[in-house]
Structure 1
Amino acid sequence: MTADPSARPRIASVATALPPHRLPQSEVVAHAAETFGGRFRDFERLRPVFENTGIEMRYSVRPFEWFHQPQDWQTRTQAYLDGATALFMDAARQALAAADLPAEAIDTVVTISSTGVATPSLEARAHAALGLRADVRRVPVFGLGCAGGVSGVSLAARLAAADPGSRVLVVAVEICTLAFRSDEMTKSNIVATALFGDGAAAAVLVADGRPGPRVVASGEHLWPDTLGVMGWQIDPLGFGAIFSASIPDLVTERMRPAVAGFLASRDEAVADLGGFAFHPGGTKVVAALEGAFELPAGALDIERDTLRQVGNMSAPTALFVLKRKLEAGLGGRALLAALGPGFTASLVRLDA
């Protein structure tokens, strides 16, 4: 029996949103020097991290001055609730408009966020303003980190496929700048301060016969004994970043075999892929991906340019890349991929 083509989930639209406050990297390093220079003896040794990120601009829900004031869980949480809700609505409205759908046409909302705690969750806070139905199904997801945007598309596609004719809105929103810690004298904190920004991305996935890139498969690969590679540590003041210097080496050694195994389940191989959309975790990670997949020069220019223009926003960043690659003509068999805490690769095979 042949499956109904209309039941195959497709991405009807992808949209992105940024908060109002600009963080030029040149000003960030000046503020960091003011904050850490006289208190953290290793700061000058770590200062080149800011220049080596390849980032020129990032964005924040709060201005520079806010980060020079003492913050605690309450103030950070309020900044998260205000900023994340506004970004959620901005990205969602753009995605709905691009899909030519009203909010009341959405059957399920998947919310991806790991940089704050919200109960009620973000889609409930945005519900009335967006005009979502009273019976909309809500799926808030926490803890996926940088892999969240790709995992969100995967989950949304599965939900759409399970209910042919339905429409699913997935929104990934992260307020990473709330992890900037003036009290934490660690290399991971300096790297987070040099790398992360705030942002949101949304996509509408449908199983109603509309055109768009088709999600043909999705999966994850979690490597054992890697819990300490990436994540949060939590204390009375808020989240603190955990990073391992081994991430680029893990990408070089383990990413391609994981992707090959994922594709093999469909009788496909890496060589069959015609395009990639990766989460650009950092310049070293992008270079490691190029080497691992033997990509030609320029293949990941959009990943590098996204990092340059907006920094690493965690979960939404891969969808920023996907949007630009689709606009640039990404076609054929393609892979959308990101790495996140676990340590996990999240993978989506598209027919774009």
Structure 2
Amino acid sequence: MYLHSIGTATPSRAFTQAEVFSALENTPKYHELTSRSRALLRKVLGNRNGIETRHFALDRMEDAFVFEPDKMIHRFREHAPRLAEAAARKTIARSGLKVSEIDALLVATCTGYLCPGLTSYVSQSLGLRSSLTFLDLVGLGCGAALPSLQQAASLVASGQAKHALVICVEICSAASYLDDDPGVLISACLFGDGAAAAIVSAEAPAAKRKVRMVKAASHLEPDHRDYLRFDHHDGLLRNLLAPEVPALAARHARMVFERAGMKKEDVSGWVWHAGGRDVLAALRQEFSLEEKETEHSSEVLRRHGNMSSPSCLFALQSALEKGVPDGNWWLASFGAGFSSYGALLEVRS
């Protein structure tokens, strides 16, 4: 199976970490926190944590800290379809395919819930055929891109589709929360909004660089579910993020890598979900990698923060466009569950 193209989109407004803290500092919610919590926010947002800017579907940064359920779901309902459509239009244009040739649509998200799902909105805005196969994948968390691509590949392999459009879209600003839990506070400093799309087909693309999905593996560890998940509180999504996550992500990434029958010497390029500075550091240590070998993931983190499910496709697009040599690449993500995914990509010019 081939990836024909990748398209990405973010909201137009980007905010520096300093701007985020300035807005937060002027909200009533900030002053309800303990002095220890305020100090943690000041430290993370005021120092280098691998993130310089994040994009949000907001006109004013202060709006991110108005924690009203109706406003949060309205933000998701308004902006998730728009971002998803923008990323999809880019990938369709780059693929050289016609909209009428897309016969399957898969949309993954974890930061909002709509019924009907985002496939209803996106298929309408793109003008996709009414007979297409469509799947809404909700609740896979940050790792959703890879299982979504795998499902698309299965549809194509089974003959149910020829060109499957996969979209990962997250409005993390619609799933924010603030209290004195350290993991909740770190989440407020980490996540941003974005969308990424790709087309899966059995046909080799016309693009100069061809990306073929060779094999994939995954690992699910329910015993570690509480380390990384959404909770519900006062009608809002509350992200729980334990300090064990970087070490868990690295250890599970190793398990998936070995489950796929891979060895380090088999891989010439590495593309990781940009989960955070400490996550990337743990992955480098686990796989004995140099910083340069995770530079595309680090660049995505620097410019956008952790966008959840779109992040690894942003990093893959960067690696393809910025000259990582052809060869066998390892694409990996992880998320709620605790779930981990990996795929071997054959990249050829």
Q: What is the alpha-carbon distance in structure 2 between the residues aligned to residue 323 and residue 67 of structure 1?
A: 28
- Which of residues 20, 23, 35 is equivalent to 1:28? 20
Query: Could you say which residue in structure 2 is the equivalent of 1:45?
Result: 39
Post-superposition offset of 1:78 = 1.3
SS of the residue aligned with 1:190? helix
Amino acid at match of 1:49: V
Query: Could you say which residue in structure 2 is the equivalent of 1:3?
Result: none
Query: Could you say which residue in structure 2 is the equivalent of 1:214?
Result: 212
Post-superposition offset of 1:43 = 2.2
Q: What is the alpha-carbon distance in structure 1 between the residues aligned to residue 203 and residue 30 of structure 2?
A: 57
Amino acid at match of 1:38: H
The ranges of structure 1 where at least 4 consecutive aligned residues each deviate by more than 6 angstroms after the TM superposition are: none
- Which of residues 61, 65, 80 is equivalent to 2:62? 65
Q: What is the alpha-carbon distance in structure 1 between the residues aligned to residue 133 and residue 158 of structure 2?
A: 13
**Matched-pair contact (CA < 8 Å) for 1:273–1:334:** yes
**Matched-pair contact (CA < 8 Å) for 1:11–1:215:** yes
Asked if 1:169 corresponds to 2:161, the answer is no
Q: What is the alpha-carbon distance in structure 1 between the residues aligned to residue 280 and residue 9 of structure 2?
A: 23
Q: What is the alpha-carbon distance in structure 1 between the residues aligned to residue 252 and residue 205 of structure 2?
A: 36
Q: What is the alpha-carbon distance in structure 1 between the residues aligned to residue 109 and residue 301 of structure 2?
A: 19
- Which of residues 233, 236, 244 is equivalent to 1:235? 233
Post-superposition offset of 1:68 = 4.3
Query: Could you say which residue in structure 2 is the equivalent of 1:203?
Result: 198
**Matched-pair contact (CA < 8 Å) for 1:16–1:320:** yes
Between 1:233-242 and 1:94-103, the stretch displaced more is 233-242
Query: Could you say which residue in structure 2 is the equivalent of 1:256?
Result: 254
Post-superposition offset of 1:53 = 2.4
Amino acid at match of 2:62: E
Q: What is the alpha-carbon distance in structure 2 between the residues aligned to residue 37 and residue 129 of structure 1?
A: 39
Amino acid at match of 1:187: P
- Which of residues 327, 335, 339 is equivalent to 1:332? 327
Post-superposition offset of 1:218 = 1.5
Q: What is the alpha-carbon distance in structure 2 between the residues aligned to residue 329 and residue 244 of structure 1?
A: 35
Given the superposition, is the C-alpha separation of residues 75 and 347 from structure 1 closer, same or farther in structure 2, using an over 3 Å criterion?
same
Q: Deviations over 1:153-196 (max 9, x none)?
A: 222222222228700000000011122225x3322221111000
Amino acid at match of 2:334: L
Given the superposition, is the C-alpha separation of residues 236 and 38 from structure 1 closer, same or farther in structure 2, using an over 3 Å criterion?
closer
Q: Deviations over 1:128-167 (max 9, x none)?
A: 2211001011011011111011222222222222228700
Post-superposition offset of 1:245 = 0.3
List alignment gaps of at least 5 residues for structure 1. Answer: 1-8
**Matched-pair contact (CA < 8 Å) for 1:172–1:201:** yes
Q: What is the alpha-carbon distance in structure 1 between the residues aligned to residue 25 and residue 329 of structure 2?
A: 42
Q: Deviations over 1:73-105 (max 9, x none)?
A: x22111101100100110000000000112111
Asked if 1:180 corresponds to 2:214, the answer is no
**Matched-pair contact (CA < 8 Å) for 2:217–2:256:** no
**Matched-pair contact (CA < 8 Å) for 2:108–2:169:** yes
Q: What is the alpha-carbon distance in structure 1 between the residues aligned to residue 240 and residue 123 of structure 2?
A: 33
Q: What is the alpha-carbon distance in structure 2 between the residues aligned to residue 129 and residue 257 of structure 1?
A: 40
Q: Deviations over 1:298-327 (max 9, x none)?
A: 111111111010110000000000001011
Q: What is the alpha-carbon distance in structure 1 between the residues aligned to residue 175 and residue 251 of structure 2?
A: 29
Given the superposition, is the C-alpha separation of residues 131 and 31 from structure 1 closer, same or farther in structure 2, using an over 3 Å criterion?
same
Q: What is the alpha-carbon distance in structure 1 between the residues aligned to residue 245 and residue 100 of structure 2?
A: 42
Query: Could you say which residue in structure 1 is the equivalent of 2:278?
Result: 284
- TM-score after normalising by structure 1: 0.91
- Counting matched residue pairs gives 338
SS of the residue aligned with 1:134? coil
Given the superposition, is the C-alpha separation of residues 44 and 68 from structure 1 closer, same or farther in structure 2, using an over 3 Å criterion?
closer
Post-superposition offset of 1:127 = 1.9
SS of the residue aligned with 1:233? strand
**Matched-pair contact (CA < 8 Å) for 1:53–1:195:** no
Taking only the aligned residue pairs, the percentage that are identical comes to 29
Q: What is the alpha-carbon distance in structure 1 between the residues aligned to residue 229 and residue 308 of structure 2?
A: 11
SS of the residue aligned with 1:227? helix
Query: Could you say which residue in structure 2 is the equivalent of 1:89?
Result: 85
Query: Could you say which residue in structure 2 is the equivalent of 1:351?
Result: 346
Query: Could you say which residue in structure 1 is the equivalent of 2:11?
Result: 19
Query: Could you say which residue in structure 2 is the equivalent of 1:4?
Result: none
Amino acid at match of 1:216: V
Given the superposition, is the C-alpha separation of residues 169 and 252 from structure 1 closer, same or farther in structure 2, using an over 3 Å criterion?
closer
